[in-house]
Structure formats: structure tokens, C-alpha cells
Amino acid sequence: MEKENFLKKVVKKYNDTSLVLRIICGLIIGAVLGLIVPNAGWIAMLGDLFVGSLKAIAPILVAVLVISSLSQGGAKLDRRFGLILFLYLISTFLAAVIAVIGSFVFPQTLTLAESATADTIPTGIGEVLKNLFINMISNPLGSIVEGKYIGILFWAVILGLAFKTIAKDTTKQMFSDLADGVSKAVRWIINLAPFGILGLVYSNVSTNGLSIFTDYGKLLALLVGCMLAVALIVDPLIAAISMRRNPYPLVWRCLKESGLTAFFTRSSAANIPVNMQLCEKLQLDKDMYSVSIPLGATINMDGAAITITVMTLAAANTVGVQVDMLSALVLSFIATLAACGASGVAGGSLLLIPMACSMFGIHQDVAMQVVGIGFIIGVVQDSVETALNSAGDVMFAATAEYTQWLKEGKKLPDFMYGKKKK
């Protein structure tokens, strides 16, 4: 009995402690264990189980939330949704422009060796968009299994609208209960995030040395610097213009509660449940964020646009191609479109680099070596990229909604005024 009471007290103390504080503790413990016992595979398995469970449940969560919202007639994709879409796209384009400016101020060259290989390489923007539309109409069950969120969204919207016109109240209630049940399961998984983060950090510390910071330090610094500039300056400026007030309380909240977990999971798909829960905390309209968050995971790709632009211009510098500012701005536009289709291409943003390189006549063999370098620095680059993308998904969804609140004279949540929740 005493042992049972002790365990209950431990669980209660765990649940009462801030999730962010628990994650930081997991991070520190994982790093220490990675240095002390580098060969304990069962610790690394904690990270695999956490990311795997999030990736598994995220497609189901998106599908049932969208179908439930639309079938009950609550989802109104009004001007807020149009603003969210605009903010996602303008942010991605400006991220590419920042990458161009950074690459011109701090030009990079690469040491090329053997060619990297890949299964699927888009040869042009047309193929990228073709992949995007094909994924949209792919088998809905297959989309859920493979985590193709464009397909999940498309069919969830179609089915949601269909059930809205023909479903009985009991059927609509069933979908509502199903959505609540899946959301509850997601909250249980997220509550165990500290153990998952511990495993992920342990895996990185025990397997990756520090050579990545010396061999490709300058390139990595440029990539991370551009991403930080977008996260801390460009995106907040966009939000400030929209809301006409200080955006940083929202920026810090999104980076802390979304960006932190995305940094370690390195998966926008895995972070969708985390973002859904954060949107609920921010008091956003569930009908809106159930659609905008998975959409943002597909088209709000600031980090991908930066990666494509910086690596392409580095490749151009390496082979001696002179790129003028006008051509670089065209590259920004191409990178924006390509980044929006990155989730529909095997390998993500890195495999879109050869397509962008072809714009400057850079041979595919050279471009694939650049992709290989991208995979080497991906331990850091991909983590920061995912954190930027994922935090921006929530931030712009909240920006659009809070902008509407302000126009209607409604009061924003207390944290936006610097007040702490009592």
C-alpha cells in the first residue's frame, strides 16, 4: 500500500511539473548518459518509440479532427484562413530572400568528393507540383499510412463536407467523440515527451562527434544564422504588422512549446499533435487550426526554402557560376514553390537542391554531392529547420486569429499582455 501511494505521489509530482522543465531535464540527462554510457541501445530506443508513436497517431488525428469539424458545420474557412495561407507563403518567400542576402554577404564554397545517390530527384518545378497534386488525390488510407498530409487533408475535407450533408446527429456525435478520444491519446503521448527527448539526445550525443562543426562550420553557421534571423526578426515582424502589437510573447511561446520538441523529433509530421495541443492552449478556434496546422506542415516551409537557397548558391560559387541579384531573387521564388512541395518528395528539402541547381546549369552529379553534404550537416541543420517550420505553423495560425479578435474588439489571452496565468 505504501509503495502504491509513493508511486501515485511520484506520478502526480511529474504531471504537476511544467512540461518544458521536464523536457529540459530529459535533455540534460540524455546528454550526460550519452557521454557516460554511449552503448546503451535501450536508452536510444526511448526516442525511437516517442517519435514513432507521434508519427503513427498524427495522420489519424488530422483526419478525424478535420472530418469532425466539417461534418458538424462548425468549420468556416473565412478570412482568417485566407490570412493564414498568405502568412505561410509570404514567410516562406521572405525566408528564401534572407538566405539570398546571407549567401551574398557570406559566400560559401564546398569541398566536393564522391557523388551522393537518391531514389527520387525532381528535375523541375513542374515535377515538384505534379508530385504535390498526385499526393493530393492518392488513396486516403494509403495517405494516412504513409503520412502524406496533402492527401489526408484533401480527403478529410471531401468526407467532412459529405457527412455534413447526409449524416445524422448520432453520426456527427460519433465523429466528435472519436476526435476527442484520439486527442486524449495524443495528450498521453506528449506527456511522456521528456523520456522521448532523453532518448533522442542520448542517440545524438553518443553517435555524432564534433567534426560536423569544424568541417562544415561556416556553411552550418550561415544556415542556422538565416533560420534564426527569420525566427526572431522576419516572422515576428510579419506578425507585428498583422496584429499591430508586440508579437514576441507569442513568438517565445511557440518556440518554447513547439520549436523545442520539433528540434529533437526533426519531424514536422510528428510535431502536429504537439502543435494541436498548443493551439488549444492559445484558445484558437479548433475548426480553424485542425485544418491550418497540417496545412502549415506542408506549405509553411521557411527552413526548407533557406536550405535550398543557401546550398544552391554555395554550389554555384563552388563551380564558378556567377549569380546576379535578379537571378537569385528568381531562385527565391523557385525555392518557395519547391519548399511547399517538399513534403511530397522522398527525402524532403535536400532532394530539391538538384532541381534548383539546374536553374544555373549545375550538373546533377555536382548537385548530388551537395545533397550528400546536406545529409552530413543534417544533424543540426534539419533540427533547426524543423523547429523553425513547426513553431511558425502555430504562430501564424494564432496571428491570423488574434488579428480577427482585435478587429472585433475582443481581448487577447493574458500572456500576450505579459501576464502570467495564476
Cell of 106: 557570406
What's the grid cell of residue 395? 504562430
Beta strands in 112-266 (DSSP E): none
3-state SS class at 35: helix
- Which pLDDT does position 117 carry in this prediction? 43
**What mean pLDDT comes out for the span 14-35?**
80
The closest of 318, 361, 312 to 332, measured between CA atoms, is 312
**Stretch 295-303: mean pLDDT, rounded?**
82
For the ranges 1-5, 140-144, 224-228, the lowest mean pLDDT is seen at 1-5
Strands (E), 144-192: none
Question: Measured between alpha carbons, how far is 278 from 187 in angstroms, rounded to an integer?
Answer: 11
Least confident of 130-134, 144-148, 182-186, 188-192: 130-134
Mean pLDDT to the nearest integer, 164-174: 74
At 263, list the grid cell.
528540434
385: how many CB neighbours lie within 10 A of its CB?
27
Residue whose C-alpha is closest to residue 175's, from 284, 69, 286? 69
What average pLDDT does the segment 319-325 reach? 81
Task: Please give the share of the chain, as a percent, with pLDDT higher than 90.
Answer: 18
**What value does the mean pLDDT take over residues 314-343?**
79
Q: Tell me what the mean pLDDT of segment 259-283 comes to.
A: 84
- Nine-digit cell at 96? 528564401
Residue 399 has pLDDT above 90, yes or no: yes
SS3 422: coil
**In angstroms, rounded to a whole number, what is the distance separating the alpha carbons of residues 333 and 343?**
18
Among 8-17, 66-75, 182-191, 218-227, the minimum mean pLDDT is found in 66-75
Cell 532532394 found at: 351
What is the rounded distance in angstroms from the CA atom of residue 387 to the CA atom of residue 267? 9
Of residues 113, 117, 116, 133, the one with CA closest to residue 125: 133
At residue 108, the pLDDT reads 85
State the pLDDT at residue 398: 93
In this predicted structure, the answer to whether residue 302 has a pLDDT above a threshold of 70 is: yes
Question: What pLDDT score does 132 carry?
Answer: 64
The predicted model gives 37-54 an average pLDDT of: 81
Say if residue 129's pLDDT is above 70.
Answer: no
Q: Who's near 245: CB < 8 A, 6+ residues apart?
A: 406, 416
pLDDT of amino acid 170: 77
Q: How many helices (H) and strands (E) does the chain have?
A: 20, 0
pLDDT of 293 > 50? The answer is yes
Q: If you average pLDDT over residues 23-32, what whole number do you get?
A: 82
pLDDT at position 116 = 42
Q: Quick check: 358 and 123 in contact, CB under 8 A?
A: yes
CA 25 to chain centre: 23
Most confidently modeled of 127-141, 198-212, 315-329, 382-396?
382-396
Q: Given a cut of 50, is residue 319 above it in pLDDT?
A: yes
Query: Which residue did the predictor score with more confidence, 48 or 355?
Result: 48
Instruction: Work out the mean pLDDT of the chain and round it to a whole number.
Output: 79
Cβ(67)–Cβ(163) below 8 Å: yes
334-350 average pLDDT score:
63
Question: What pLDDT is stored for residue 252 in this prediction?
Answer: 92
Name the amino acid, one letter, at 195: F
Say yes or no to pLDDT of 142 above 80: yes
CATH of domain 17-417: 1.10.3860.10
Mean pLDDT for 96-109 is 91
User: Which string of b and e fits 31-64 if b means at least 16 CB within 10 Å?
Assistant: bebbeeeeeeeebbebbeebbebbbebbbbbbbb
392 Rama class: left (phi>0) / alpha (psi -120 to 50) / beta: alpha
